[in-house]
Chains A and B, each alone.
Chain A
Amino acid sequence: MGKIGLFYSFNSKKTAKIAGIIHNAFSGIDVQLVNVDEVNKDHFLEFDNFIFGVPTWFDGELPNYWDELLPALEEIDFSHKKVAVFGLGDQKGYPENFCDAIGIMVLFFEERGATITGNYPLEGYTFEGSKAVRDGQFLGLPLDQENQARLTSGRIERWVEVLKKEFN
């Protein structure tokens, strides 16, 4: 298996906590933790497999730390690399844009050749719209700590099992 990097903001609270759970779920497999707040484009060249932690801010936006970073990655060729995205959202408070940030991230890396992995079924979620949905499934793992925190660990376990098989 190639090198795996788990990218998220170390300054975040909920996302960092989830990243820790995901990291643990990969027990026995080397997953490096990378702080998005301090990263530059060279860090992305080091990995073959990526897990990105991307909460949705406001009514469907990337957090600043991702939004400000993406222009630096525009020229990188992600062909032959696999990308999986997880994100936190709020189905009740923001049902029209549930985990939009997952969809925005996926689109960006797809356009640069990445293979997206870690799709997740819609069952169990209730919302109205999301950029993270395509062809009847989520493009990554949506987590809702506001309304479905008790389901989070199960969802992570299921998702990580898929990633273990999918990553090169």
Chain B
Amino acid sequence: MKVLHDMPVDKIFTIKNTDKVMLEKWLYLMTIGRIIDEKAPNYLKQAIGWSYHAPYAGHDGIQLAIGQIFDKEHDHLFPYYRDMLTNISAGLTAEEIILNGISKAADVTSGGRHMSNHIGKPEWNIHNVSSATGNHTLHAVGVARAIKYYKGNGVAISSQGESSVSEGYVYEAINGASTEKLPVIFVFQDNGYGISVPKKDQTATRKVANNFAGFKNLRIIHCNGKDVFDSINAMTEAKKWSLENQMPCIVQANCIRIHSHSNSDRHDLYRNDAELGYVLDSDPLLKFKRMILRYDRLTKEEVHAIEERAKEEVKAAHKSAMASPDPDPASIYDFVIPDPYPALKYPEGVHNFNGEKKKLIEGINETLKAEFRLNPDTFIWGQDMANKEKGGIFNVSKGLQQEFGPSRVFNGPIAEDFITGTANGMSRYNQKIRIVVEGAEFADYFWPAMEQYVEMTHEYWRTNGKFSPNVTIRLASGGYIGGGLYHSQSTEGTLATFPGIRIVYPSFADDAAGLLRTSIRSMGPTLFLEPKALYNSPVAATPIPDDFEVPFGKARIRRAGTDLSLITYGNTTHLSLKVAERLALEGLNIEVIDIRSLIPLDKEAILKSVKKTGRVLVVHEDKVFGGFGGELASIIGEEAFEYLDAPVRRVGSAFTPVGFSRILEAAILINEQKIYEAARELLKY
């Protein structure tokens, strides 16, 4: 194996040969940054804002370098919360930094929605990243996949502190970049601490980049992040090498943290006077100025003039930012999720097509193929996605790779967070891209991806509408297959608690096809839950028009009735229909509403049914306690109480895990008899 981490770095930039204009520019940027870095705590003291500030002083060399090599026309940059100078060096103005710090409406990062010091400019491909530190490594890998696919001639640059490399998703990201040979530069800014936690408590290797020395297709470069020239040379080499070789590179920059971690930390509690002294002595900005003067590159007067100019710019920026308007509280519901594809062909999401019946699995498979034929910017990946005749754990995606090729249809590693996070990342490349992922082999294994799921729901709101991940997450869900604890879970009760994602759960083949088409064509993320017990079930098979599409938030009356409303979705739609048939034999007329879409919810259809029947039984497969039915019941209670002739009841599974034994499974999961008994109780009122 070729060892890539000991390769030399050319010293292109030195104190003696760097152009004077360049040195002036660097000094100006570094001075602007340091003035704001030191001024930021004052805004908090004066109760103006900037309640979170992670000072960058001590990281000056590497941050200047990251910004200088960034090309906003071709590259994508993911700065972390300490990267103020990185942003300034990449082109953000002092005013833009202050607008972010004091959370003004004109903040280019997020309009005051995201925490201060989380700086970005999405329209320049400087991405607004999470506070879940280091999780943007997955986004960088995802967008690098797109850069490579579309031959974008750029790199993705992800920046983070060395402590956040301890996060498992960082390993997933670097493993993926290495496997797929992607042009990503991972910068580790090593200041020795994760807040107060020293490096020795993070990992056994002091230079954490060396933990990755065994990874193939990955170069590692170490540099002195306190030194401007060493940092610029390292980043220049990393970018050149990544572009030429289309492979990832880690740059570990040795920095110091001159101040506390943030304004909520007191570093004197865990650093002694000697350490506090020597980090001050190693101030990178002072070193840069000493070098400039020592080697007669600028005179003292020239340095002074640059410093005065920087002070004036920050002063003017402060004045302007302070006068800038605050965010409007009435805007909080703006940009929660983009408007979906309108699905106007079938505005109610129903049809009268009488063709051959198709199974639910066929409906999904054929819709995927149709959408992939229609839109060349569609991609799908997941575990078990593509190996010869295998296409997905249940073969839902069978034949896709053969037809659309391995660049658009491919396997993911057994790393659900990676699968989900790189979807978020790849969709950043342009808004034409539509991505479908099988988020996990079974919905039960999706939990490792929760943090990326949460990110997905935040993006559009957090960027003030500047970026939406256009991703459909498919999950094979629910039980009734004798699968036990990890092949039977219903996850929607938990996953529906996050604003910023649509959730659909079809129970028939036509609805599955129609909702999938709408999901793929829409902007914003959609969680597409598939009742795996129904994939091949004849009861879920229906005719499907080729162009069928179902709007979000449209329930479907699967059986009309007047005596009782069964409000349901997924597997229990079929159980409810059976109960309705059984009760019909007893002379009762039961209405079955398949909500199909949990978010957005068709409240109008639900309330209309309740007003008609006066009795409601909410039925779902998930546990009653904490299940989505709690939301349905409370909506009905709040908005239709006066129409009710009986209390709203809920039936679902027991508040236990789902047992593997068929006997235990039957005792735990909701079944036809339990629904029948609950319905009968309600009909007594």
Contacts and interface: CB of A to CB of B under 8 A. Distances in A.
Contacts of A74: 16
B190 A64 contact: no
Interface string A24-68: 000000000000000000000000000000000111110010011
Given A59-B207, A59-B254, A61-B254, A67 B14 contact: no
Contacts of B268: none
A81 B102 CA distance: 60
Interface in B19-47: none
A72 interface: yes
A61 B61 CA distance: 15
B205 A59 contact: no
B224 A64 contact: no
B308 interface: no
Contact of A97 (B206, B227, B291, B294): B206
A57 B256 CA distance: 12
B167 interface: no
Interface residues of A, number: 15
A67 B282 CA distance: 12
Given A71-B15, A71-B16, A71-B295, A64 B287 contact: yes
B254 A58 contact: yes
A95 B200 CA distance: 12
Given A61-B254, A96-B205, A97-B206, A68 B224 contact: no
Contacts of A64: 281-282, 287
Interface string B213-228: 0000000001010010
Interface in A58-100: 58-61, 64, 67-68, 71-72, 74, 94-97
Contact of B206 (A57, A67, A96): A96
Contacts of B240: none
A68 to B, nearest CB: 6
A71 B14 contact: yes
A68 B254 contact: no
Contacts of A96: 205-207, 210
Interface string B611-649: 000000000000000000000000000000000000000
Contacts of B294: 68, 72
B304 interface: no
A68 B290 contact: yes
Contacts of B287: 64, 68
A58 B210 CA distance: 16
Contacts of A61: 224, 254
Contacts of A72: 294-295
| CB-based closest 10 A-B pairs | A59-B254, A96-B206, A71-B15, A58-B254, A61-B224, A71-B16, A59-B206, A68-B291, A59-B207, A64-B287
20 contacts: A58-B254, A59-B254, A60-B254, A61-B224, A64-B282, A64-B287, A67-B227, A68-B287, A68-B290, A68-B294, A71-B14, A71-B15, A71-B16, A71-B291, A72-B294, A72-B295, A74-B16, A95-B206, A96-B207, A97-B206
Interface of A: 57-61, 64, 67-68, 71-72, 74, 94-97
Given A68-B294, A96-B207, 20 more contacts: A58-B254, A58-B256, A59-B206, A59-B207, A59-B254, A60-B254, A61-B224, A64-B281, A64-B282, A67-B227, A68-B290, A68-B291, A71-B15, A72-B294, A72-B295, A74-B16, A94-B206, A95-B206, A96-B205, A96-B206
